[in-house]
A and B are shown apart, each in its own frame.
Chain A
């Protein structure tokens, strides 16, 4: 199982617990989390399902390449980390 973790900055607004999900793609991994936390989706993705401009996702320490369709592959035991991109000083 892959692990999805969320920045503590999100926890200020709503519960965003870490989750164990099936591998596949970043999109399917997130969808599995959002299935049980539907409000969280709008904090991470925009209306078209793309990653929000100021949100970043790393898989095993590397930034995802496909921010629009979230097709980067995710294998079992991968670590997915969702956090806010720095903006401002």
Chain B
């Protein structure tokens, strides 16, 4: 199990280290600034994306020696004259997710307003995936999260083939590329958007994919927390089966996939969808160990009275062991488990609202 955890919040980045006494904060960076994405590398590097509001999205990197420096951010090309009907801005809103690319130095960044960027030099420079950005269908992508901009919230790289990519988009379904981003297609079948008119409900591009998680040892297994339910795919995101056994509710944002057990995943359900609070004021984690046929409700160590914590889509994480988990909430809760979620403990801290929780590689 890894002993290092990065927690990005509305008011800074907190690094926790686990010792005999539990998890403790050992470093605080960007205090007061919103952190929108975090990634840690096995060599000790850490990338942190900031969403400064007034002054835009920023990217910082901590090198293995411990020094932080500001990096280039992904930028969009000049908006062409004939793109006046594009409903989305050609300017970086925020970096929503950072993922390693499966080859040395490569990173992927999923952003609002829906641009996918790649870096082959550890984040020193970025290039927009022009193919995806210039697809006419992108203009049909819808805004999310209280904003007008669509966002790429998940980037899944096949561990066996770094050219095989899936992205999850709020709101535009699941898109796939088998050639490192040279071509793309929307692939998801089997999801439904119950708030849309009947003729649009099963439209793949209309699906609000809150978050995707892939089993590293069995990459064809992908889990999805969707706006209207929980789904599982056994063919890398092409077809989806709804997991109707999810409880206590089917709404939520976060999902984590066990790194080696294809049948195990975790979700953090909430009341859908205008309220967005835990059912009955009880914070629980839902775990399946049988591919979604049944779910256990895990609550030991979690607040069970008048708790109104919501867990955002990047705020639930599992480490490489599959036994250690962590999640953070909009009210600053942070809980960790070392037994697959059977029991949870909370570090001695009161954090700002948590946006992203990420273990350092073990």
Contact = CB atoms under 8 A, between A and B. Distances in A.
A52 B56 CA distance: 8
A48 B79 contact: yes
Nearest to A43: B55
Interface string B321-355: 00000000000000000000000000000000000
A85 B54 CA distance: 8
Nearest to A44: B55
Nearest to B92: A47
A55 interface: yes
B54 A84 contact: yes
B52 A13 contact: yes
A48 B90 contact: yes
Given A10-B55, A43-B55, A48 B70 contact: no
Interface in A48-89: 48, 50, 52, 54-55, 84-85, 87
Interface majority SS on A: helix, strand, loop or mixed?
A: loop
B54 A87 contact: yes
Contact of A48 (B52, B54, B58, B78): B78
A47 B76 contact: yes
Contacts of B56: 42-43, 46, 52
Interface in B66-97: 70, 73, 75-76, 78-79, 89-92
Contacts of A54: 53-54
A14 interface: yes
Interface majority SS on B: helix, strand, loop or mixed?
A: loop
Contacts of B75: 42, 47
A39 B70 contact: yes
A46 B55 CA distance: 9
Given A47-B90, A48-B79, A48-B90, A42 B73 contact: yes
Contacts of A55: 54-55
A46 B91 CA distance: 6
A9 interface: yes
A44 B56 CA distance: 8
Contacts of A42: 56, 58, 73, 75
B49 to A, nearest CB: 13
Contacts of B52: 13, 43
Given A42-B73, A48-B91, 15 more contacts: A10-B55, A13-B52, A13-B55, A14-B70, A39-B70, A42-B56, A46-B56, A46-B89, A46-B91, A47-B75, A47-B91, A48-B79, A48-B90, A54-B53, A55-B55
The 3 closest A-B pairs by CB, nearest first: A47-B91, A46-B91, A43-B55
Interface of B: 52-56, 58, 70, 73, 75-76, 78-79, 89-92
Interface of A: 9-10, 13-14, 39, 42-44, 46-48, 50, 52, 54-55, 84-85, 87
7 contacts: A43-B55, A47-B76, A47-B90, A47-B92, A48-B78, A48-B79, A50-B91
